[in-house]
Homo-oligomer: A and B are copies of this chain.
Amino acid sequence: MQSKQAIGALGALANEHRLALFRLLVRVGEEGMAAGAIAAELGIPNSSLSFHLAHLNQAGLVRQERRGRSLIYSADYAAMNALVGYLMENCCAGADGCGPEAACDTQPSSQERKQA
């Protein structure tokens, strides 16, 4: 990860609505969520939400996928992990307890199944 990318990602997250939005997507996982559903969940006007979604998308933190008439958004875990790694790089000059071990798999494990 490079500086400009990290700044973009951090700036994208440094906003009340976008942070809530990103954390929501982090929670729901790969399944993602439609723009309208997000707007309803967060209580933000559509046009405002669209602005924030575009911001997060262009920062590389969320991905977009069309399903029918809806656009499904989901968090990009790889980008999140890269950002955290970048923040903690060379932490404590390489001392013992330090270093980014955080990770969220893109494939959240196959022990869960949904039926609707």
| Chain A interface (Cβ < 8 Å from any Cβ of B) | 3, 6-7, 10-11, 13-16, 19-20, 22-23, 26-30, 77, 80, 84, 86-93, 95-105, 107-109, 111-112
Number of this chain's copies in the complex: 2
Known: A27-B93, A93-B28, A95-B29. A84 touches B105 (CB 8 A): no
| B residues less than 8 Å from A23 (CB atoms) | 86-87, 89-90
Bound: A77/B99 CA distance, A: 11
User: Do residues B87 and A108 form an inter-chain contact, with CB atoms below 8 A?
Assistant: no
Bound: A103/B101 CA distance, A: 7
Known: A13-B10, A14-B7. A104 touches B84 (CB 8 A): no
